[in-house]
Structure 1
Amino acid sequence: MSHTPDPDVPESVDEEEEWLGVRAVARLWPVREDWVPSVAHLADVRVRRSGGESRGTYGAAPTVYHFHPGDVRRAARDIAEGGVDVPTVYRTDTPDGRRAEFWRKLLNRVLGTLFLAVLLASVLMLLFVAGFLLTVE
Structure 2
Amino acid sequence: MQVAKLFAPAAVALAFSVPAIAQQMGAPSVDDQVNQLDEMVDLDEGQKEEISTILTQTQREISANEQEAQQLQQQLGEHVQPDYDEAAIRADAERLGELTAEITADSILMQAKIEDIFTPEQREQLEEAMAQRQEQMQQMQEQMQQQGG
- TM-score under structure 2 length normalisation: 0.28
- Which structure features the higher share of strand residues? 1
- Which structure features the higher share of helix residues? 2
